[in-house]
A and B are shown apart, each in its own frame.
Chain A
Amino acid sequence: MDTQEASRTLEVIRTLMERTTQYQFLTARAGLAAGVLACIGSVLFMFLDMADPWAFAAVWALVFVGSLLLTCVCTVMRVRERGEQVWSRQAQAVVMALTPAIFAALVLSVFFFVQGWHLWLPGVWMLCYGQGALATSVYAPSIIRKMGLVVLAMSVVTLALGPAWSVLMMALVFGVGHIWLGLTLLAAERRAQRSLRVFRTVA
């Protein structure tokens, strides 16, 4: 066995172990779609008044629901492509890990709207998103942990910059951030497929 074969075998072992423990159905398509939706949401505020709580709530609620729906559709499509279970062991673990962060985000959103502080919400959403991403990091690809850390750091920046920057930061973190996540997942998917294909031809 030469060095190249040994390192290729180690990579395949790693891929197989990750595939067993990690939730692998977070698709690049879902990341890209969420990023594009967040960018569209931000662009809409060139025509809408972000100080209007109803406009702010409507746009970001549509972005959130749209991203969630697209993620679900892409996930189900991917799971069916591979002929696996939608509500798998890993899927249950990921949902359980995400639930506290989503619950906190919902409660805080209602509270901030009631208080009239809605322009501070992007920083709060980023805090919850970062926390949720880190909570799933045991089951998710390492890129999600990195994304969680970056979003947590950006939440501090967003809160420090204040309401005037909230829409721009949403575009940067949830828009550009998700597009970057989608592209990274796409590259990882292609890499994993290539190494497993090589391994299976030998097996």
Chain B
Amino acid sequence: MASRWQPFLLAPALVVFAAFWLLPMARLIALPAEKAWDSYFVVLTQPAYLLSLINTLLLSLAVTLVSLVLGAAVGLFLARHRFAGRRMLLGVLTLPLSFPGVIIGFFVILLGGRQGLIPSLSDTMGFGRWTFAYSFIGLFLAYVYFSLPRAISAYAAAAEAIDVSLEDCARTLGASAWHIVRDVWIPELAPTTIACGAIIFATAMGAFGTAFTLASKFDVLPITIYSEFTNYANFAFAASLSISLGLVTWAALALSRRKGAYAALGL
């Protein structure tokens, strides 16, 4: 119907996208080649980068697992129980969705940093000052805090949509609680688990704000890229590492997209 107009309608978005993303990205992708062809593989060939990649992968996997388990438990509970203040509780639990990652990093510093609450508490109890904010644990807690709201809201919505008659049916046929979990809940929630898991994993891999406030001892890939770029002006390696990181996050989302990973992002 609008075929005559189509080029004009698409043009503004296309021009902006080509000028400010496609062209810059092409430059970024070409950059390591100007140095040497094997610059593309520095993330695997240089031990320091490889360690940073492994750190980031392990951290992201741990965060994804824990957020999914906790999110499923809370989300299912909220979907199945009706009580006063339920909507408000869901609102409070999903509030951090609109926080930038830096704020969440700061929360962890307030709790477990050098002047934090928990270190002074552990000190008065005679265990010495337990500062965990800048270690794996600090990053892990911050990332979980960051991704839990998304998991909770996804599971709450998915559990509301489960057909209750399936469960009733299974119960009438004599299925035990474990059987219902295994044969009804887990299959029904599988798409949510895959989609939400991919997003949490990809977000954790690329998280810069949280890591920026916390990663002084534990090195993660976004911070490695940032310091290559700003501290050492090593643009080729920064570009190469960004490409590697981008491939990982893109692959995680692409593999799960048939299951609606984009839909879970609100796209």
Q: Do A and B come from one complex?
A: no
**Measuring CB to CB, which residues of chain B are less than 8 angstroms from any residue of chain A?**
none
Q: What is A's interface to B at a CB cutoff of 8 Å?
A: none
